[in-house]
Each structure stands twice: as structure tokens, then as C-alpha cells.
Chain A
């Protein structure tokens, strides 16, 4: 098996130490960082993401795979910067004000990074202003909003409201998700997309990026 295929296979099984070693080997063998990223780490993560989307694997498997991905990515990041590898676009991500739940949000971040997007993760308990400010500053095309609580999902509507207020509607698109959130709720608050789960969120971001690019 080629080193890159082995990286992908080990990543799928969540073997972080092995992924770290193999990534170091691949770098030492002179492979380009982008190649290791795309055909090793991201290829493995794509398999895990797809199996997660089909409910064949679950959150623990994805978290273990993600840890393995980062074990390799940590080595590659300085090299990627040196190679100036193009990323697919920027997404600002966070859990809304008043909500401290970050499992789902982190999962979406992992999947987006796994799909090649640059993720600016603002963390938990993020105010609407912080979301919009970060999107403007970073030139992000999409803001991803997460809420687990029925008590906090209303804050998502404040973000879409603030984008309208600042004339950024259509320019910065919004994706919302979280246990109590539905597609209907997204329509009701004027969000651009609803991510049913982390895998679906990546598909939604891809669609939003394509729309914005046109």
C-alpha cells in the first residue's frame, strides 16, 4: 500500500500516532504537502465523513478520525503555508451567544477543513456582532451558526438580522444547524441554508460558495 493510502486507512481507524508517523515519512520522502493533504488526510476524512453521513459511523468515530487528521495536519501546516496552497474558501463558525455546546460545531469545522475549506472558529457563546465582524474582517463567504438549546436558537435570527442591517445580505451567506434547528426554522429567520448534520453542512457550504461565486 502506498504511504498516502496507508495514511488514509489509518486515519479512518483513528490511529493518530500512526498517521503522524506516516505523514512525517511522506514529507521526508519528498512528497508535496498538498498531495499528502489531499490524497492522504482528506481522502481518509472524506470516507469517514461519508460513512457518518450514512449513519454507519457516529460521533466518537469522527472525533477519533479528526484527531488523527490533526496529528498529520500539524506537520503539514507550515509546509502548506510555504507552498501557498489555495484553500477553497473561508467559513466563520461558532456557537451562538448563551450556548456553550461545541460538539456539533466542532464536527462541522472538522468536516469543512476535511473538505478543504479554511475555518475561522470563533468558539462558543459568540455574539451576533462578533460573527458579522469576523466575516467582514476575514472576507468569509459563509457564516456557520450552531445552537443546541431551544433557548439560544433565537440568536441565529439576530445574526441574519444584523447582516441585513449592515447591507451584507447575499454577500455573506448563513448556514445554521443544531439539534433543535430545522429547515423551516432557517426559512423563518431568513438563513440561507440549513445543515441537517455535519456532512450535510459541507454540502450546503459548497452550494452556498458556488452561488456566491456566480
Chain B
């Protein structure tokens, strides 16, 4: 993938997973990673839809697969199994036709001194998760939705230990404020770009957030402060309640106008996050190919 990026190719990611699972009956409070054991056929179906839509990589359902996060559902002991199954399900669907991108999200705990968690504990958790993902045959790692640069650094350092040589994408989530873009922990785009690169990320950028509009500005900022390839995976806006249902306001046509523009900014890896669907990815594939 890194050589394709270096050759100037735009890599197309897939879209949202959590929101797709919700649309297929995932209930609030249910542990999404448990579906890797309970409903592998549903995950395979979603992976198939994104593959058909033209994604170059398909993300695994392992975002909350750190044992610290799984602990909420009493599943910390099953960390390796849940992460391994997550990779296997996608691998069996893509069979070499797309890359398997293993998702690693925040561990859900705050680090000392402002929180109560020792960095060693967070790193050990990531090590268990990442070792399982790599062993199961992930083609790349996507460390995403990070807001604390120190936690992202711990995940990156762990990747270098547990899975040396595996390409790794690291993206953080920014809020738009009158003073510019910051993560909730106060990290700027410039700081993120520098610290993620120093910690060994091959590709840096942003995911989730407030929709494609703000993401274009974030992408521009990243491009201005890093020589590494940039990854942007944007939400389809922020959800609205329509007749008791959550709806993401940016439909494929609206979203893809912005997302296609990311290529012109030199963003190497473009994908979707919450609220984006195979429809969004298909529309973007079409746009990128013309």
C-alpha cells in the first residue's frame, strides 16, 4: 500500500461500521466486537458490500478490541479471540481482492496524571490486541479516533514491537473551535502530525469529526505540516433525529463532492467514518475513477 501511495495512487477506504451494525440491529450498550463470534455472517455481508463498492481496504470490527475497553462487557479475557476473528472474517471475504485494515480505537481510559491509568497498562492492553490482529493476518493497522497523542504514541510504539513492518495509519479526531482545530485533549493538527510521525506512523491524518466540510480544512492543515501520506476518513455529518430515527445528513452525493476534493488536496487515503455507507464509497470510487 505504501508503494502505491508513493506512486501517487489514491487509496480508497471503506465507510462506517458501527453505524452499519446499528442499522442491522446492534443495540445501544451491546459490545460490537462480540458480533465477531455471534454474527460473523452479518460482518461478512457488510465487508462484501464495501468490497463491491470498490474499497481498496476493508476495516475489521475490532475498534473497541483493547482489553481495557472489552472489560466493560466482561470480555477482557477474550481479547485475542475477538480480535483474531475480526481479522479472519474480513480476510475470508476479500480473499486478496482488497487489504485487511485492522482497526484499533482508544482504550477508553484516561492516562495519568489527569486520569487513573498507568501508561504501562494501556500499552500492555494494546500489545495483546495488536499481536492478535497481526498474527491473524492483517495487512495494515489503523489506529483511529485518538484524542490523546500520548495514547496514540503508546499504540504506535506497541505496533512497532508487536508487528514490525506492518504499515500503520494513525488518525486523530478534532473539534472545530473558534481558535482552530483541537482534539478534546487539546492536540492541534500540527502537534498530531509531528508526534504521530515521530512515533512511527506511516500515514497520518484524521477520522470521524463533524462532517466532510471541516475535514477538508483539517486535511489542508495536515498537508501543510507533514511530508507523510495523509489519511482522511470523514463522517457523513453529525446525526439528526428524524421521526425517532438517527439520520446522517450528508447523503452520498453531498458527501462525495467534498471527499473527492480531498484528492485534489493531495490526500492519499480517503475513506468514510460514522454514517457513511457502501453507497458513499461506491459514489467516491466512481468519482475517483473518472
CB contacts (< 8 Å) of A60 on chain B: these are 114, 185-186
Q: Given A180-B239, A185-B241, A189-B241, verify A152-B186 contact (CB < 8 Å).
A: no
A212 within 8 A of B: no
B27 within 8 A of A: yes
A209 within 8 A of B: no
CB contacts (< 8 Å) of B186 on chain A: these are 57-61
When chains A and B are docked, how far (Å) is the Cα of A154 from the Cα of B239?
11
CB contacts (< 8 Å) of B183 on chain A: these are 58
Q: Can you name the residue of chain B whose Cβ is closest to the Cβ of A106?
A: B110
The residue that B240 contacts in the complex, of A61, A100, A184, with Cβ under 8 A, is A184
Q: Report whether B110 and A97 are in contact in the complex, using a CB–CB cutoff of 8 Å.
A: no
| Minimum distance in angstroms from A138 CB to a CB of chain B | 25
A151 within 8 A of B: yes
Q: Report whether B246 and A153 are in contact in the complex, using a CB–CB cutoff of 8 Å.
A: yes
Q: Given A150-B18, A185-B240, verify A59-B28 contact (CB < 8 Å).
A: no
When chains A and B are docked, how far (Å) is the Cα of A61 from the Cα of B187?
12
CB contacts (< 8 Å) of B238 on chain A: these are 180, 182
Q: Given A58-B185, A60-B186, verify A157-B241 contact (CB < 8 Å).
A: yes
Q: Report whether A154 and B241 are in contact in the complex, using a CB–CB cutoff of 8 Å.
A: yes
CB contacts (< 8 Å) of A61 on chain B: these are 186
Size class of A's contact patch? 20 to 34
8 Å CB interface, B179-193 against A: 179, 182-186
B165 within 8 A of A: no
Q: Report whether B185 and A150 are in contact in the complex, using a CB–CB cutoff of 8 Å.
A: no
Q: Report whether B19 and A157 are in contact in the complex, using a CB–CB cutoff of 8 Å.
A: no
B115 within 8 A of A: yes
Contact with A along B1-30 (1 / 0, CB 8 A): 000000000000000001100100011111
8 Å CB interface, B234-249 against A: 238-242, 244, 246
Size class of B's contact patch? 20 to 34
8 Å CB interface, B92-124 against A: 108, 110, 113-115
CB contacts (< 8 Å) of A54 on chain B: these are 179
When chains A and B are docked, how far (Å) is the Cα of A155 from the Cα of B241?
12
The residue that B29 contacts in the complex, of A55, A125, A182, with Cβ under 8 A, is A125
Q: Report whether B28 and A151 are in contact in the complex, using a CB–CB cutoff of 8 Å.
A: yes
Q: Report whether B28 and A149 are in contact in the complex, using a CB–CB cutoff of 8 Å.
A: yes
CB contacts (< 8 Å) of B241 on chain A: these are 153-154, 157, 185, 188-189
CB contacts (< 8 Å) of A151 on chain B: these are 18, 22, 26-28
Contact with A along B60-98 (1 / 0, CB 8 A): 000000000000100000000000000000000000000
Contact with B along A172-195 (1 / 0, CB 8 A): 000000001010110011000000
When chains A and B are docked, how far (Å) is the Cα of A206 from the Cα of B169?
44
B177 within 8 A of A: yes
Q: Report whether A154 and B182 are in contact in the complex, using a CB–CB cutoff of 8 Å.
A: no
A122 within 8 A of B: no
The residue that A98 contacts in the complex, of B28, B182, B242, with Cβ under 8 A, is B28
Q: Can you name the residue of chain A whose Cβ is closest to the Cβ of B209?
A: A179
Q: Report whether A100 and B239 are in contact in the complex, using a CB–CB cutoff of 8 Å.
A: no
| Minimum distance in angstroms from B263 CB to a CB of chain A | 27
B274 within 8 A of A: yes
Q: Report whether A99 and B177 are in contact in the complex, using a CB–CB cutoff of 8 Å.
A: no
6 contacts between A and B (CB under 8 A): A58-B182, A58-B186, A60-B114, A100-B108, A101-B108, A149-B28
Q: What 14 additional pairs, Cβ within 8 angstroms, besides A97-B28, A98-B29?
A: A55-B177, A56-B179, A57-B186, A60-B185, A63-B110, A63-B114, A100-B72, A150-B18, A150-B274, A157-B244, A180-B239, A182-B238, A185-B239, A185-B240
